[in-house]
Chain A
Amino acid sequence: MSAPGFDVERIRKDFPVLARELPGGRSLVYLDSGNSSQKPTQVIETMRDHLTWHYGNVGRALHVLGSESTEAYEAARDKIAAFVKAPSRDEIVFTKNASEALNLVAYAFGNPAGEDERFRMGPGDEIVISEMEHHSNIVPWQLLAQRTGATLRWFPVTDEGRLDISRLDELVNERTKIVSIVHQSNVLGTVNSVSPILARAREVGALMMLDASQSVPHQPVDVTELGVDFVAFTGHKMVGPSGIGVLWGRRELLDAMPPFLGGGEMIEAVWMDHSTYAPVPHKFEAGTPPIVEAIGLGAAVDYLTAVGMDQIKAHEKELVAYALEALPEVPGLRIIGPRTPIARGGTISFTLEGIHPHDVGQILDDVYGIAVRVGHHCARPLHLRFGIPATTRASFYLYNTTAEIDALVRGLHHVQKVFG
């Protein structure tokens, strides 16, 4: 029933940890990839090999190790550019994570070091986000609003967990300078339709950014086809290491933006009283970057490409359809988010009547070795919107199976028995 050529058992063998036995003889059921994904041998070995044989600093060392490191680091940039179909490799900026990528863009607005009209911001200007954002796509914009006196506004979320764009034309208007929304919600699983919002943003001359941390790992993402101005994502959710993230931005905009962090490697020339800056992407990569992490992320996109992003998307769609059927069998279970496998990814958050998510997660882990995430998943405003303090979240990836969803359902029945 899986997509042709997709063999989940073969894929599982690439991830050694999935075969690990937990204390007490439990086997691991890892349903927390939305939080952070596991890593395949191919990524681990690439990083180990680089650290063992090729490590040197990048961009400035002339010796063999320095050149090999620079070459591998820049090759990773090429791979990632190709992976998201960026028109130019120079549009791929390495950051620490998606949060840093979002902060980098927010910092460009209302910044006296920049001169471009599109990034000017002050009282009367507006920033538009949504109620389903991760804190990383809320707080940088709150800080920006505080710095500049601009107004922060947001799209509401419907009861079904979809973005409510019924007031789009009022919300995104001639005062709007930037719209930044999530591509796929880390709580609801909802995949947002970008084109109507983008069309409106273009109409009023606003820029648009996507937090694609939860979409780039799970579906083919083509930044040119999306047509937005900036896209942020992170390595550790896409079988790569932590400590490396990516900002893709249109060349012309990146050129117009002021630097973010100042330091080594981001300069062209430095005098005591002023500096000129390196061309993008290096303008935004101050200091020694996470070299081996970037190379590991290159290996991760090689791995995902070899498996096939279409295949991964199809496999996850099967898993989520299966889970959406199976989970409501558990008495008192309420899914927060779309209940149909349409325009949604493999992340399902839910509540169990009368039982706190921490108790759910604890029992699932301790009795069945099932790793889920519990809490507000860094999306507190979304939980407030639904009037709940926390949820339990199961999130799937290419290596998960329907048998693991069966295990989750069995585990939840047991939780009911303990607390019911």
Chain B
Amino acid sequence: MIGESMYQELILEHYKHPQGRGLREPYDAEVHHVNPTCGDEVTLRVKVDDGGKVLDVSYDGQGCSISQAAASVLHELATGSTVEESLSVVEEFTRLMQGRGQVEPDEEVLGDAVAFAGVAKFPARVKCALLAWMAYKDALMRSQG
């Protein structure tokens, strides 16, 4: 029963009831990211105001529970925060995911995203968890550029 620790209740909850799903207007940048090995994909839009506040992160996509739940959690964490704050969450989340299960997650920074800690032990699934988060980072860069 190793794997079920990966499927935390919170992940399944977000998978079954995704938050903020669907593409919305207005937006500053839109990106489309694909995980070629498994076909998971996400289209993601960001809207940032002049003060650097993230007004909306909207997305649509298809894929496994991990990739879809990660997009949902990202929406919750990023919307309403500042670009700077949200990027520090992305950074911490990436560090956790790439830590092969050896990294102690910072719950203060990660909030609900800490539920993905178990995924880090499954190298094949790390890309699933990071898909939407990398798309978000990319979209922010484009919106700033």
Contacts and interface: CB of A to CB of B under 8 A. Distances in A.
A383 B38 CA distance: 12
B22 interface: no
Interface string B1-19: 1111011000010010000
A24 interface: yes
B128 A358 contact: yes
Contacts of A237: none
Interface string B30-55: 00000001111100000000000000
Contacts of B128: 358
B2 A366 contact: yes
Interface string A7-24: 000000000000000011
A418 interface: yes
Given A419-B12, A419-B65, A363 B3 contact: yes
B64 interface: yes
Contact of B3 (A362, A376, A419): A362
Contacts of A383: 39
A61 interface: no
B20 interface: no
Nearest to A380: B39
A367 B4 CA distance: 8
Given A356-B63, A362-B122, 12 more contacts: A23-B2, A358-B63, A358-B64, A358-B128, A359-B7, A359-B64, A362-B3, A363-B7, A366-B1, A383-B39, A389-B41, A419-B12
Contacts of A365: 3
A367 B39 contact: no
A105 interface: no
Contact of B39 (A355, A359, A389, A418): A389
Contacts of B37: 375
Nearest to B65: A359
24 contacts: A23-B2, A355-B65, A356-B64, A357-B64, A358-B38, A358-B40, A358-B63, A358-B128, A363-B3, A363-B7, A366-B2, A367-B1, A374-B38, A375-B37, A375-B38, A375-B39, A380-B39, A383-B39, A389-B39, A389-B63, A390-B39, A418-B4, A418-B7, A419-B15
Contact of B1 (A24, A356, A357, A380): A24
A366 B38 contact: no
A150 B40 CA distance: 33
Interface of B: 1-4, 6-7, 12, 15, 37-41, 62-66, 122, 125, 128
A71 to B, nearest CB: 42
Interface of A: 23-24, 355-359, 362-363, 365-367, 374-376, 380, 383, 389-390, 418-419
A355 B63 CA distance: 9
A383 B65 CA distance: 20
A376 B39 contact: yes
B127 to A, nearest CB: 11
Nearest to B2: A366
B4 A363 contact: yes
Contacts of B63: 356, 358, 389
A366 B65 CA distance: 16
Contact of A367 (B3, B15, B38, B41): B3
A358 B7 CA distance: 12
B3 A356 contact: no
B55 to A, nearest CB: 30
A372 to B, nearest CB: 14
Nearest to B128: A358
B2 A24 contact: yes
Q: Rank and list the top 9 A-B pairs by shortest CB-CB distance, nearest first.
A: A366-B3, A356-B64, A358-B64, A389-B39, A359-B65, A366-B2, A359-B64, A362-B3, A390-B39
A419 B17 CA distance: 12
A390 B128 CA distance: 14
A256 B77 CA distance: 65
A32 to B, nearest CB: 14
Taking each of B7, B39, B122, which has the highest tally of chain A beta carbons within 10 Å of its own beta carbon?
A: B39
Contacts of B62: 389
Contacts of A24: 1-2
A315 to B, nearest CB: 31
Contacts of B3: 362-363, 365-367
Contacts of B39: 375-376, 380, 383, 389-390
A376 to B, nearest CB: 6
B97 to A, nearest CB: 16
Nearest to A364: B3
